[in-house]
Structure 1
Amino acid sequence: MGAGHDHGGQVLRAAERHRGRLWAAFALLTVFMIVEAVAALATGSLALLSDAGHMFTDVLGIGMALAAITAARRASRNPQRTFGHYRLEVLAALANAVLLFGVAIYVLIEAVRRFGEPPHVLTGPMLAVAVLGLLANIAAFALLRSGAKESINMRGAYLEVLGDLLGSVGVIIAAVVIALTGWWWVDPLVAVGIGLFILPRTWRLGRAAVRILVQAAPEHLQVPQVQARLSAVPGVTDVHDLHVWTLTSGMEVASAHLTIEPGTEPAKVLAAARVALHDDFHIEHATLQVEPAAETGACGPTEW
């Protein structure tokens, strides 16, 4: 199989490296989610409630990330699951995006309603809880930052915590402004700001997850360039039935049929093609079929 065919194991090891950090962030945010939710109900602050709701999606998202890592590790030992359960982290990321959309839309609707019904907000407890929430989010942000570069699921949790961190800053500002000026409308205004901040980032996360699930080519790869590079491999006369997709975070895979010149050694073509895919496009898992020129057209239709 050649170099790079332990890529599934590499993905699992990358996830395992961050498992302890995920558990720490999960425990920390769960405690402060409960604190914020109770405080939001006690103080009447929509901004604090929106921050607690966002923190709930943080906790749920990290929980799903941990579940996906555990399931993928167990599935890697099942011979019937040839690619394991790597797609579970993508499904978890998509579920995160849906939840975040729901929270953001709820907050926006509730904020509009509150502009017509001025609430009474207890700014002292609101400020104290917001500061504690900010500290918790800073700690969780630091725990998840490194893993966000290696996993779409970790990136989802990271983005949620980043949004929540900024949300906590907004709640602090709202509490200070209300306490000093009595401008009650700052509370729903900050809630709207949190919701609008969440939506575009959630859209990007959901879009990335859907692209993987529909097996679209990775955005950073141009399929015509991959085809041209394989065509330039010595001995290759034609490249067809080329597919490039993402299995899970950091795991791009490809398959292609290579037509070779008469007298060309297939093993050399395969080796050169795999090196080209690895070096030029960082594709480490490729399934390549070598065909003599006389067999072209015998591999069936590719329109599926």
Structure 2
Amino acid sequence: MHTHSLEPWTHSHTFLGARHDRHARRTRAVVALTAAMMVGEIVGGTWFGSMALVADGWHMSTHAAALGIAALAYHFARRHADDPRFSFGTGKFGDLAAFASAILLGLIALLIGAESLDRLLHPVAIGFGQAIPIAVLGLAVNVASVWLLHDDHHDHDAAHGGHGHGGHSHSGHSHGGHRGHAHGGHDANFRAAYVHVLADALTSVLAIAALLGGRYLGLAWLDPAMGLVGTVVILAWSWSLLRTAGLVLLDARPSPAATREIRERLETGGDRVSDLHLWQVGPGHRAAVIALVSDDPQPPAHYKARLAGLRGLSHVTVEVQPCPGHTAET
């Protein structure tokens, strides 16, 4: 038996987002900023006897914890990118972190809602003069964090280019080769961090509006009422994030359009797709396992060539079977 090098047919399974390291740096910066503000509020509130300041500091600590999870996910995904224990790499660590962050965000919203409802039913005296500057300072920190994390969070990460692996058998796989912006290729971990600071900014804006209304218009009920508005909005954001990350973790099909395009490219002549699995393995990266039945079976490289140019298709495995009554090429 001849011994051949497998190097031309092997490849990396590093499916990290195209801006993984940049997003990691920005997330760490926001963690530091949020943690500093949190410590300042808790220490300052304790020193000056302001319960409002202490409460806001502990509220900010929950966001700091969620942002810390995001930062750790970036670190872990990069550190273990080539770990063979992870069959399709660590590209989905961000989705796992985003799912955890979404749960934390939902809990934060419920706590804000419970506190607001209690304040609405049992009003307490509010030190408007002291609370307004605190809320403005908190908003300034939140705006800086939003700016750091806004970046291109609506953009889709580009899939890394690669090379195809053919061979002379009727099953095989390929890696990369399709460069472009992938639908659904956004960095869920970065989006989760962004939503957290956006939620904090929203609560600051609502708090400032309520405090101004309370101080100058005598509408003290505005403070808890705005808290309830914030609860509803943040819960909606949390559910959206939870659903998006959950679908990726469960290997849900990215989109019917993507599956349809693969079928249209492969089902020509006597070739028919008998089985097709398409799922996301990282930001901007998708994997596909395809089974074909053909009147005239060709090598896998022939079918992979038909898929060239499809956005974000980074890992493809093709199996070809001859139609009953036909013999496969040798």
TM-score, normalization by structure 2: 0.76
State whether residues 113 and 231 of structure 2, in contact with CA within 8 Å, keep that contact through their aligned partners in structure 1: yes
CA distance in 1, matches of 2:262, 2:307: 12
**Which residue of 2 is the match for residue 101 of structure 1?**
106
1:141-160 alignment to 2 at 5 Å? 141-146=146-151, 148=153, 149=155, 150-160=186-196
**Which residue of 2 is the match for residue 86 of structure 1?**
91
**Which residue of 1 is the match for residue 290 of structure 2?**
256
Percent identity of the aligned residues?
30
Q: How far off its partner does 1:104 sit?
A: 1.0
Quick one: which amino acid aligns to residue 20 of structure 2?
A
Q: Secondary structure at the match of 2:82?
A: coil
State whether residues 27 and 193 of structure 2, in contact with CA within 8 Å, keep that contact through their aligned partners in structure 1: no
11-20 or 36-45: bigger deviation: 36-45
Alpha-carbon RMSD across the aligned residues, in angstroms, is 2.9
Aligned residues: 285
CA distance in 2, matches of 1:295, 1:193: 67
**Which residue of 2 is the match for residue 247 of structure 1?**
281
77-86 or 190-199: bigger deviation: 77-86
Which has a greater percent of helix?
Answer: 1
**Which residue of 2 is the match for residue 285 of structure 1?**
315
| Counterpart pick for 1:67 among 51, 68, 72 | 72
Task: Say yes or no: does 1:8 pair with 2:38.
Answer: no
Task: Say yes or no: does 1:112 pair with 2:117.
Answer: yes
Structure 1 unmatched runs, 5+: 297-304
Q: How far off its partner does 1:52 sit?
A: 5.6
CA distance in 2, matches of 1:192, 1:130: 17
Quick one: which amino acid aligns to residue 8 of structure 1?
T
Higher relative contact order (CA 8 A, sep 6+): 2
Q: Secondary structure at the match of 2:288?
A: strand
State whether residues 7 and 284 of structure 1, in contact with CA within 8 Å, keep that contact through their aligned partners in structure 2: no
Residues 70 and 268 of structure 1: is their aligned pair in 2 closer, same or farther, counting only changes over 3 Å?
A: closer
CA distance in 2, matches of 1:130, 1:212: 37
CA distance in 1, matches of 2:218, 2:84: 65
Residues 291 and 220 of structure 1: is their aligned pair in 2 closer, same or farther, counting only changes over 3 Å?
A: closer
| Counterpart pick for 1:272 among 301, 305, 326 | 305
State whether residues 236 and 269 of structure 1, in contact with CA within 8 Å, keep that contact through their aligned partners in structure 2: no
CA distance in 1, matches of 2:281, 2:52: 43
CA distance in 1, matches of 2:325, 2:188: 41
**Which residue of 1 is the match for residue 3 of structure 2?**
none
| Counterpart pick for 2:30 among 25, 29, 33 | 25
Q: Secondary structure at the match of 1:217?
A: coil
State whether residues 134 and 168 of structure 1, in contact with CA within 8 Å, keep that contact through their aligned partners in structure 2: yes
State whether residues 73 and 97 of structure 2, in contact with CA within 8 Å, keep that contact through their aligned partners in structure 1: yes
Task: Say yes or no: does 1:237 pair with 2:271.
Answer: yes
Residues 227 and 13 of structure 1: is their aligned pair in 2 closer, same or farther, counting only changes over 3 Å?
A: closer
Structure 2 unmatched runs, 5+: 1-6, 156-185
Q: How far off its partner does 1:241 sit?
A: 1.7
CA distance in 2, matches of 1:201, 1:288: 39
TM-score, normalization by structure 1: 0.82
Quick one: which amino acid aligns to residue 231 of structure 1?
E
CA distance in 2, matches of 1:102, 1:295: 61
Q: Secondary structure at the match of 2:307?
A: helix
Task: Say yes or no: does 1:165 pair with 2:201.
Answer: yes
1:121-160 alignment to 2 at 5 Å? 121-146=126-151, 148=153, 149=155, 150-160=186-196
Quick one: which amino acid aligns to residue 223 of structure 2?
D
